[in-house]
Structure formats: C-alpha cells, structure tokens
Structure 1
Amino acid sequence: MLQHFSYKPMYENKQLPGWTFAFFFQKKRYTGDYLPDGTMTWIGDTPSDEENVKKMIHELMTFHVYD
C-alpha cells in the first residue's frame, strides 16, 4: 500500500501536461514523473514491486487528476 501519496503539476502554468509524484512504500520514499499517456519514470530508486506500484499510482492519478 502506498502512503502519503502526493502529486503536483510539472510546470507552473499548469497548461502543459505532466505531474511529479511522491509516496512511501515499504518504509522508503519514491518519486517520479507521470505523463498524460500514463507513462511513469522514476527519479532515483525503483520500487521492488514496480508493476503493482504502477497500477496503484495510475488508479490514484486517474481518480485525482482526470476526475
């Protein structure tokens, strides 16, 4: 389960799409970029259960950003 999930637009004018996100997973902090097509790139380490984590992030982003 992801904890303390947060996201913000990559660009100040918010017209260009893209978001940065951060969260804790298994007591470790992870950050990355989320692009409008659902592509994610990690900044730093990659979670050990990457595919499952990506699914959780995609669900959260769909709910918060595209709602």
Structure 2
Amino acid sequence: MLQHYSYKPMYAGGNLPGWTFSFFYKNQRYTGDYMPDGTIDWTSETPPDEDQVKKMIHELMTFHVYE
C-alpha cells in the first residue's frame, strides 16, 4: 500500500500536462513523473514491486486527475 501519496502539476498553471508525485512504500520514499500517456519516469530509486506499484499509481491518478 502506498502511504502519503501526493502529486502536483509539473508546470506552473498546469497548462502543460504532466505531474510529479511522491509516496512512501515499505518505509522507503519514492518520487517520479507521471506523463499524460501513463508513462512513469522514476526520479528516485525504482520500487521493488514496480509493476504492482505502477498499477496503484495509475488508479490514484485516474481517480484524482482525470475524473
């Protein structure tokens, strides 16, 4: 489970798409960039269960950003 998930637009005003995010997973902090096409670029170390974590991030972004 992701804890303390937060995100914000990459660019001031949100005119261009893209978001930065951060969260804790298994007591480790991770950060990355979420692109409009669903691509995730990690700006920190990659989580150990990357595929599972990506699914959780996609669900959160779909819920918070696209709806």
User: TM-score, length-normalised on structure 2?
Assistant: 0.98
Which consecutive unaligned segments of at least 5 residues does structure 1 have?
none
1:63 maps to what in 2?
A: 63
Which consecutive unaligned segments of at least 5 residues does structure 2 have?
none
* Residue type at the aligned position of 1:56: M
* Residue type at the aligned position of 1:28: Q
SS of match in other structure, 2:52: helix
SS of match in other structure, 1:17: coil
Alignment partners' CA distance in 2, 1:26 and 1:41: 20
**What's the offset of the Cα at 1:8?**
0.1
The RMSD of aligned alpha carbons is: 0.4
* Residue type at the aligned position of 1:52: Q
* Residue type at the aligned position of 2:9: P
Alignment partners' CA distance in 2, 1:13 and 1:53: 28
Runs of 4 or more above 6 Å deviation? none
Alignment partners' CA distance in 1, 2:55 and 2:40: 11
**What's the offset of the Cα at 1:54?**
0.1
2:5 maps to what in 1?
A: 5
Alignment partners' CA distance in 1, 2:27 and 2:44: 15
Alignment partners' CA distance in 2, 1:66 and 1:19: 12
